[in-house]
Chain A
């Protein structure tokens, strides 16, 4: 009896989480010119308008370039730091860990303000560079947490075996450690990309005038009027950001399976 009640509650909670999102997808296929209820029929017209909207395409390009650069830089820095934290007996490890995840603990608005004003004092104006720096520092803690969690599972004795068989440390890193690290690196990059692609609060502070990422473009569109294109854009984003990691997980699983035997 009690268990059934709990299960019913859980179903309601999941519906609460997903129904609004499903409605976005549903309405994006709405033929009605207002893009709201009632549905008058199914149509792709909003997706076609989306594909012809120059501002949105530009926003997509900006978001993708920014996300890729962020994920490469953030993951490189993050993997190095995670290696040090997991593989070595670093004195004051807890203090260092806390320091490295500090960007999560500071409210994003405060992080955004501090970085904006500090770099401005150094005569770095709002620019793509500032945006990139902001996204790197904002995603770094997440990368470090994810990569560290994966690294703990990699056994050290394989590397030691390579070394004892005469491989140099550099050889060992590239031929043994790096392939073993691949799933962790991949997970870190994916995580950094998704967070960067989704970020809006910091981006609003850092972006130069006229530059929009997809989230800030949606935000700007929302403030004007609720155009039906927004639902179509939302649907595209949902498939990109939820579909992409799902594929990523599948690839990572396969990689891990192949190596694990």
Chain B
């Protein structure tokens, strides 16, 4: 073999383990559950191969699944909005601060390293019946009995915001940090007020980061399994909980496949839409 031919083959050799892994452990399994979702779990517990629409009919027409899907999307949307409102000003301060920028950035990275389950359960210490807030209120004599603050939709959203806020801030920061500040100076020197400069120069230029953070927050929020169990009440199940229920508890794998694919379709459509308009580049910047 010539040297050139070996050179040309090299990148494929290097890429092949990763490509094989992604193909065998992600693509083929996804294709497999597409097929599986048309099978039928019979009363005896065995799967009947074939082309049955029963699972899809159940997943798409049952009001129970539809309501939880809509509620999941609603929770994800509120979470994303709250993250954006809380995160944008913070990202702006980090991007424009001089002295303590490095410290603020390092602190921003810390939550990514702290276990998600611990960050989630930490709110029990704050909101629980004997948590920080109730203890303080009772000590101050404002209330005699603890106020129920946990195990409802609001505490689920709070936990999700706590989990996803660093993703949002980081993505907005990356975008704000890349803006050429002379553009802002130019707008100011041409007579624009600082607020107007922000609205017409800074904000539009930072929208890609806001969109990337928003996409991440929404997709990760809508796919959550743990938070509703730890911080939610019995009626606060989200869609991933249904999937787990179908697969692990009821062992109805064909139905579980259909439900998984439903979630994938909804969130995947968002990712594709994002990719179409903005491309994956911005998202990669925030993740890398």
**Which residues in A have some Cβ–Cβ distance to B below 8 Å?**
2, 6-7, 9-10, 13-14, 16-21, 23-24, 27, 34, 36-38, 76-78, 80-81, 83-85, 87-88, 90, 96-111, 113-119, 121, 133-134, 136-137, 140, 142, 144-146, 148-149, 194, 197-198, 200-201, 204-205, 214-215, 218-219, 222-223, 226, 230-231, 234, 237-238, 241-242, 244-245
Contacts and interface: CB of A to CB of B under 8 A. Distances in A.
Contacts, number: 249
Given A13-B86, A205-B247, A145 B284 contact: yes
13 contacts: A2-B195, A10-B90, A16-B162, A24-B118, A36-B130, A38-B135, A38-B139, A77-B21, A84-B14, A96-B15, A106-B264, A113-B256, A215-B115
Contact of A13 (B87, B118, B256, B288): B87
B267 A117 contact: no
A38 to B, nearest CB: 6
Contacts of B21: 77, 136-137, 140
Given A13-B87, A106-B26, A215-B115, A114 B219 contact: no
Contact of B124 (A116, A117, A226): A226
B56 interface: no
B125 A241 contact: no
**Which 6 pairs across A and B sit closest by C-beta, in order of nearness?**
A107-B223, A118-B29, A114-B29, A20-B122, A81-B18, A37-B135
A23 B165 CA distance: 19
B69 interface: no
Given A81-B15, A84-B12, 19 more contacts: A13-B90, A16-B86, A17-B165, A21-B111, A37-B130, A81-B18, A96-B15, A98-B280, A102-B26, A106-B26, A107-B219, A107-B263, A107-B264, A109-B244, A110-B260, A117-B253, A140-B22, A218-B118, A226-B128
Which residue, B94, B121, B169, B248, has most C-beta atoms of chain A within 10 A? B121
Interface of B: 10-12, 14-15, 17-19, 21-22, 25-30, 32-33, 36, 86-87, 89-90, 92-94, 104, 107, 110-111, 113-119, 121-126, 128, 130-132, 135, 139, 162, 165-166, 169, 194-195, 219, 222-223, 225-226, 229-230, 240, 243-244, 247-248, 253, 256-257, 260-261, 263-264, 267-268, 271, 280, 284, 287-288
A140 B284 contact: no
Given A10-B93, A81-B15, A219 B117 contact: yes
A99 B22 contact: yes
Contact of A205 (B27, B195, B244, B257): B244
Contacts of A80: 14-15, 17-18
Contact of A234 (B29, B86, B115, B195): B115
Contact of A231 (B19, B125, B162, B268): B125
A201 B241 CA distance: 10
B113 A90 contact: no
A7 B194 CA distance: 16
